[in-house]
Structure 1
Amino acid sequence: MSSAETGSTGTVGPVGPVGPVGPTGGVHPAPARTPSPWWSLGLLRSELVTTFRRWRTLALLGVLAAVPVLVGVAVKIETGDGSSAGGAGGEGPAFIAQITNNGLFLVFTALAATLPFFLPMAIGVIAGDAIAGEANAGTLRYLLVAPAGRARLLLVKYATTAVFCLVATLVVAASALAVGALLFPLGDVTTISGTRIGLAEGLGRALLIALVVAASLLGVAALGLFVSTMTNSGIAAMATTVGLLITVQILDQLPQLDALQPYFFSHYWLSFADLLRDPVHWDDLLRNLGLQVVYAAVFGSAAWARFTSRDVTA
């Protein structure tokens, strides 16, 4: 055995990847591989395919698609005798009274009905399972063996959850539009301000509302991802995220906390209705989007700090 292979005591040191021989005769370690952007896109594509092929994900999307169907059928049955939707007092989700005159309002009603609970609950399930589910299944360690890096893997998980936010919102909107067109007439839209806009512009505003609703869920996605880095149990992470969501929703209704409520991530969720004003009122919409950016930054940073310092054993 040559002297280059032994230490001063003649024992054999650890063997690993080697690089070129240095000027002093020592062997330099091979440089670490840096994953290319194309590799990162492949990781994102793989994560998206895995997420959207799960039966749990498909079941969540199926439930979300069923909500507009139930609302539309209920309104159709209720108004079959000529009575107004929502009862004599007009109770019910926002815009429900206008559905019988224009099926496009079923899109706005469905989004208003699903945004407080159904949509964020679905996001909480996906986000809460992002890291904890991998740890529970014993696959997290193998994901980190690949040249991904923890920060890159965390970013891919959040991007996947953000895509689910968009897909889930569009599923609700598309289902509502199809049911609304099937059961009710479509035509010009009367805005909250009392003016009328054409059907094409109404469809454009419906799409914009769906995008705003999807963006409104990014704070919940970051919160769920942070919770997911705190445990190895996917069920515990999902339950904790949903529990926090319900708690914030309850606190947002207490008048004693009115000074704190503008800082809750859910406080401005229904501000998307301002897109149906003429002209559009942007103040609360911008507050909502800014608040989601703050929550995404704060809880995203907390998730990064936790995940990059975590001892992964599973």
Structure 2
Amino acid sequence: MSRADARTDSGAGTTGAGTTVPGATEAGATEVGPAATDSGAGTTGIGTTGVGTSAAGTPRLLWSLGLFRSELVTTFRRWRTLALLGVLAAVPVLIGVAIRIETSDGGSVGGGGQGPAFFTQITNNGLFLVFAALAATLPVFLPMAVGVVAGDAVAGETNSGTLRYLLVAPAGRTRLLLAKYAATLAFCLAATLAVAASALAAGALLFPLGDVTTISGTRISFMDGLLRALLVAVLVAASLTGIAALGLFVSTLTGSGVAAMATTVGLVITVQILNSIPQLDAVHPYLFPHHWLSFADVLREPVYWDDVLRNLGLQGAYVAVFGSAAWARFTSKDITA
């Protein structure tokens, strides 16, 4: 399915000189001219102006929803996106199988019970495979997947020549950019849930399930632990909003989707390296991955929110800065393709 064909699914009318307004045919008016749509007022085709605001507001809302739906369809119908979700879902299975094999003779994870955080608890409770898989994929796999999708959001349209045709519709560049970012955020959530769901299924098949022992040493019920696992997945998805905004900004700077994706992934790797250098600890709190693993505090009793809120605040700052930069670049960009 091509990018141009996917746009016909938006359900918001035609993209020619006039825009068909859904439901307007019942009132005897079939089209609203571009001027009326842009101004939010004007006639509705039957010579009356009293319903102009309402008639113009409805197509704008329909265009926004149609754009978002079109971007979702375009994003999740690509084989590349499906392949990324498949790889992410396979990671927890591989981790679970590896731990199952390693502990099949009665040994412990890491050979002496000194394995990574969460990993040593998996054999006692399969629910911990969810936390372990998210901790394993968050530093590299998840941000790289998001970087690929975000980097291709605008640059891919420019490279394929469909961006110009998208802007023919009276949707506006701002709404188009917001629709693309919203679709990228939907991928962030889908990718995170794919890891969590796969980990939960693998953990239930390979290991026992039961009450959860928190980091604080207290025990909570399995349902409470499951709710916390869902909260952790949402927090991990929220941790990716900063890199999504950064990737969208990079995507507005170039007309090559491959170059935008490579640059975004390269930035993720570079920042991760900088965050691991002790001599740069002064700048670590300002790097977007610095508080990513703060979701572990959700497994404390009571929950320790300080670092979690710092992480959300930092991601919000990245979204504001690079989202504004992407908007400034995209709205002033000369679209010639």
Partner of 1:24: none
Equivalent positions of 1:129-148 (< 5 A) are 129-148=152-171
Residue 303 (structure 1) aligns with: 326
| TM-score under structure 2 length normalisation | 0.83
> What is the 5 A alignment of 1:1-314?
31-34=35-38, 35-88=59-112, 90-92=114-116, 94-314=117-337
| Structure 2 stretches lacking a partner, 5+ long | 1-16, 19-32, 39-58
Partners in 2 of 1:59 and 1:125 — Cα distance?
12
Indicate conservation of the 8 Å contact 2:192/2:237, yes or no.
yes
Q: Which amino acid aligns with 1:33?
A: T
5+ unaligned residues in a row in structure 1: which ranges? Answer: 1-15, 18-28
Q: Write the letter of the residue equivalent to 1:86.
A: G
Separation in structure 1 between the aligned mates of residue 76 and residue 67 of structure 2, nearest angstrom: 14
1:89 Cα deviation from its structure 2 partner: 5.6
Q: 1:30 to 1:281 in 2, by over 3 A?
A: closer
Give the number of equivalent residue pairs.
287
Ranges of 4+ aligned residues in structure 1 off by more than 4 Å: none
Q: TM-score, normalised by structure 1?
A: 0.89
Q: Which amino acid in the other structure matches residue 234 of structure 1?
A: G
CA change 1:189–1:30 in 2 (3 A) is: closer
Q: Distance in 2 between matches of 1:106 and 1:177?
A: 7
Matched to 2:317, the amino acid is V
- CA distance 1:87–1:32, shift in 2 (3 Å): farther
Q: Deviations over 1:127-170 (max 9, x none)?
A: 00000000000000000001111111000000000010000000
Q: Work out the CA distance in 2 between the residues paired with 1:195 and 1:116.
A: 28
CA distance in 2 between partners of 1:212 and 1:87 (Å): 31
Higher CA-based Rg? 1
- Measure, in 1, the Cα distance between the counterparts of 2:200 and 2:206: 10
Identity across the alignment (%): 76
How far apart, in 2, do the equivalents of 1:145 and 1:53 lie? 23
Query: 1:38 deviation in Å?
Result: 2.0
Cα 1:30–1:57, aligned 2, differ >3 Å: closer, same or farther?
A: closer
CA distance in 1, matches of 2:60, 2:333: 25
Question: Partner of 1:33: helix, strand, or coil?
Answer: helix
In 2, Cα distance between equivalents of 1:304 and 1:81: 57
Letter in 1 for 2:69: R
Aligned to 2:4: none
CA contact (8 A) 2:181 2:248 kept: yes
Q: Which amino acid aligns with 1:81?
A: D
Q: What is the RMSD computed on CA atoms of the aligned residues?
A: 1.3
Q: State the Cα distance separating 1:31 from its structure 2 match.
A: 2.1
Query: Structure 1 pair 30/149, CA: closer, same or farther in 2 (3 Å)?
Result: closer
